[in-house]
Amino acid sequence: MSESRVTFNAEEVLPDERNFVAAVLDTAATLVVVLDTQGRIVVFNQACQQTTAYSAEEVKGRPFWDLFLLPEEVESVKTVFKNLQAGQFPNQYDNYWLTRDRDRRLIAWSNTALLDSAGGVKYIIGTGIDITERHQAEQALKKAKAELEIRVEERTAELRKANEQLQEEMLERQRTEVALEQSYSLLQAVIEGTPDAIFVKDLQYRVVMANSGFGTILNRQVEEIIGKDNTELLPPEIARQINETDRRVMTSGEPEMVEEVVTIMGITKIYLSTKSVLRDPSGNVIGLVGVSRDITERKAAEEALRESEERYRHFIETALEGIWVIDAESKTIFVNRTLAEMLGYSIEEMQGRSLFDFMDDEGKAIAARQVELRRQGIEDKIDFKLCRKDGLFRWAIVSTSPIFDSAGKYAGAFAMITDITDRRQAEEALRESEARLREQARRENLLNRLASQIRNSLNLDKVLETTVQEIRNLLQIERCHFAWYYPDREEPGWAIVKEARNSELSDLRGYYPIAAVGSMGQKLLNLEMLRIDDIEKLSQKPRGAAQPSEEPRSVAYASDRLWRRFLRSMGFASILVLPIQTRSGTIGILSCCQSSAPRPWRDWEVELLHAVTDQLAIAINQAELYAATRTTAKQFQEQAAKLEQTLSELQQTQAQLVQTEKMSSLGQLVAGIAHEINNPVNFIYGNLAHTDEYTKDLLNLLQLYQQHYFHPVPEIQDEMAAIDLDFLIEDLPKMLTSMKVGAERIRQIVLSLRNFSRLDEAEMKAVDVHEGIESSLLILQNRLKTKPDHPGIQLIKKYGDLPQVECYAGQLNQVFMNLLTNAIDALEERIERGEENTKSYIPKICIRTSVVNSDRVLISIADNGLGMTEAMQKQLFNPFFTTKPVGKGTGLGLSISYQIVVEKHGGQLHCLSEPGQGTEFAIAIPIQQHS
């Protein structure tokens, strides 16, 4: 009966314990995994399912390392598993689990083994704690807390469902005592393997079951705890609080998660406890089950994070610089009070608004480029202009850094804003001050330059031109000009003589009668200044008398239609005119004009122009004095030049008379020689014909003797041999022919000499120019021939078909002689200098003649001698100028030739020459002379 009673009790207890184990496993927050010896999952509790998002049905029977492990951790976990199989347990390690969504969860594992009756390893039991949250920031902690609350609700529902299943399973009495014992052993291993405290209390709050983790909390052995209530285990106040929580859970029947502060032996710790009711098969509450986790470190971390955040927020709120945080869409997610006040907004008004709402169009373009740089991970610092709520602008130094999330994606930007508006305004004021000083310096520089121009230059045109140009540049006006008044002309008026203007404006220089100007022209003659800011308002609001800063020359304007019409015709919108009167009484005006739009004339500009006109008046007076002095000096210079020219002409005439006398004497000598030679030459030439005839007769007679007397006497034969009769008969006709040729040559020379001298042709008459050229060449024939020290001169004649030309033949021959002589001298000088290889260099003279325009003849004499520079050519026809060595030339040949051609014949004489390229003289004279 005893044995039957034991069996009965086992049947009653075993289902309860099995249900109890299942409830504990599903209630525990600890991850519990039971593996068989092949590493296949046998038990996968509710916490594991929630962590991985896999159901128990999906993972049961599958190898543990095929589902949750990172590839790089598989081998190390397998090694741990092998060590456990080898009896090396318990052990602990951390590794990552991969959830169904491939998220990583860091788990702290505590592993042990369940042995069979033979002492061999039957199951491997792993209990783990998800410690991922320790590495999260405040947001992650809050999120984890929310997820934990959801998890508790889910667990409560699951626990309720589990209780129902336990009640159903209590009806099942099919399990054997061995299975119950195995389940109980498995439960005990799980409970003991978890680091969390697991406990069960009855309705009197007495502990009926606890694991070693619960004993660790109370610093007692488990045996000492069982059967005792909270008041016996804890300090009174803590016991009262825990009793209140336990009572509330058992009364309401709803699970509850609370934080409990427990102080044991002076050490205070914080626990997160999850408590739910324990029911019997009938559904009656018989106690509660609780799981407590030590969260002291986490709470300390949260508190430290809170304090850090508080300090950070205090720093942000009290910072002197503005702080601006934007998200990836450039929306404002945070600004501090300093920035909000800087821009005139409240913090709430700026929250959520786009970064670009606080800047103008130019700033938006700059900000867009800056945001793109942040996306690229580039930090930067720039000066930037921000728009306030009231429409004003504030300048700031903006230092910006990018923000990236844990995945490395751009999440926004963080900016420090330093207001530099006051500094910028100070800098702008400084720039304006510098600009004013530079403007003043420019004005003083203008006056100094004008004064220097006056001192350094007495050229009035230059002074006026410089003045109008400098004034236009300084005042940045469109037009500035200077005009003189001419009262003595048939129609008095103003002449604009100097003008500086913009390139697109028309030139206004010219003469303007005073009748077209109107009455204002008379005011200028009265030396009154004209100052008009807007011509269109001239009749509406005439300017009054001179301002206090103006001189008495300022004038009040009356309505003048003619004056306005004149200004409009000139295209003026504004005008400022200052008159000037010189010491001689001449009046001029200096005008500054604007055409594109009206321009107010400032007082300092008027003062500057007054100073300029004063300097300009001094310059004009000095220029007039200088001009008068120069005029007087010029008159004296002209008189001296005339005297010098008269003296030069007398010297030239004297030299020409001497030269003419020489040429006349030479002509008479040549004519006399020609005459004296001509008579004997005519005698010889006249008898040569008879001598030739007689010689032929004698030779014929001799031939007859030879034909009829074949054998003359020995004496005759000896004589014939002595005189070489055959040679004499052959050579005598040739000798007579040579004598005839020589006589003919002498006659031609005589004719050329007479032709060159032309003593019988002193008057102008028509002659053959070619004969004159040939006569000159005949006289110079000896200089053209080859000599031992230099080659002969090659003569090239290109004669055209010329008519007879009316001229002074003797004088024209003298020109030919001079030009040919100079050409030969140039060739000989080049040969003597040895600048050319005498074997390759051929001296040449080329003579060309032609008819030009049917009324002139052109005679060109060119050589390939040394040539002349441009400076030498300019003096070539001056009397006494020569390029030849001393003693070789008089310097009168070309001068006389120039007078003969130009003055005597109304022609032209030109010289074309380049150094090293030779020289060409071209003579052009009319075919017929006109009186």
What is the tens place of the pLDDT at every residue in 292-350? 888 888 888 777 777 766 666 666 666 678 888 999 999 998 888 888 888 999 989 99
pLDDT in tens, 583-595: 888 899 999 999 8
Count the helix, strand and coil residues of the chain and give each as a percent rounded to the nearest 5.
Answer: 50, 25, 25
Q: Which long-range contacts (CB under 8 A, 24 or more apart) does 445-453 make?
A: 446/470, 446/471, 446/474, 446/608, 446/612, 447/608, 447/611, 447/612, 447/615, 450/612, 450/615, 450/616, 450/619, 451/615, 453/619
Query: Average pLDDT for residues 847-856, to the nearest whole number?
Result: 91
Q: What is the pLDDT of residue 712?
A: 82
pLDDT for the residue numbered 110: 86
pLDDT at 499: 92
Closest CA to 849 of 737, 910, 925, 751: 925
**Per-residue model confidence (pLDDT) at position 576:** 92
- CA dist 332 and 355 (Å) reads 6
Q: Say whether pLDDT at 484 is over 80.
A: yes
Position with higher pLDDT, 528 vs 743: 528
More confident residue, 178 or 519: 519
State the pLDDT at residue 888.
57
Mean pLDDT along residues 58-64 = 88
**How much of the chain exceeds pLDDT 70, in percent?**
80
- Residues 467-481 as b/e (b if ≥16 CB within 10 A, e otherwise) read bbebbbebbebbbbb
Residue recorded with tokens 């024939």: 781
Helix (H, G, I), strand (E, B) or coil at 28: coil
User: Is pLDDT at 482 greater than 90 in this prediction?
Assistant: yes
Q: Is the pLDDT of residue 10 over 60?
A: no
Residue 74 confidence (pLDDT): 85
Compute CA 802 distance to the chain's CA centroid, rounded to the nearest angstrom: 71
- For the chain, what is the mean pLDDT? 80
Question: Does residue 500 or residue 618 have the better pLDDT?
Answer: 500
Phi/psi for 71 (5° steps) reads -55, -35
Query: Is residue 529 predicted with pLDDT exceeding 60?
Result: yes
Contacts of residue 218, Cβ cutoff 8 Å, sequence gap at least 6: 225, 233, 234, 264
* Average pLDDT for 811-822: 86
When pLDDT is averaged across residues 184-205 and rounded to a whole number, the result is 78
Q: Would you place residue 554 in the very low, low, confident or very high pLDDT band (cuts 50, 70, 90)? A: very low
The pLDDT value given to residue 539: 53
**Whether residue 5 has pLDDT greater than 50:** no
State the alpha helices, DSSP H only, in 457-517.
460-475, 514-517
Confidence of residue 548 (pLDDT cuts 50, 70, 90): very low
Average pLDDT, integer, range 694-714:
82
User: In this model, does residue 80 exceed pLDDT 80?
Assistant: yes
**Mean pLDDT on 498-505:** 90
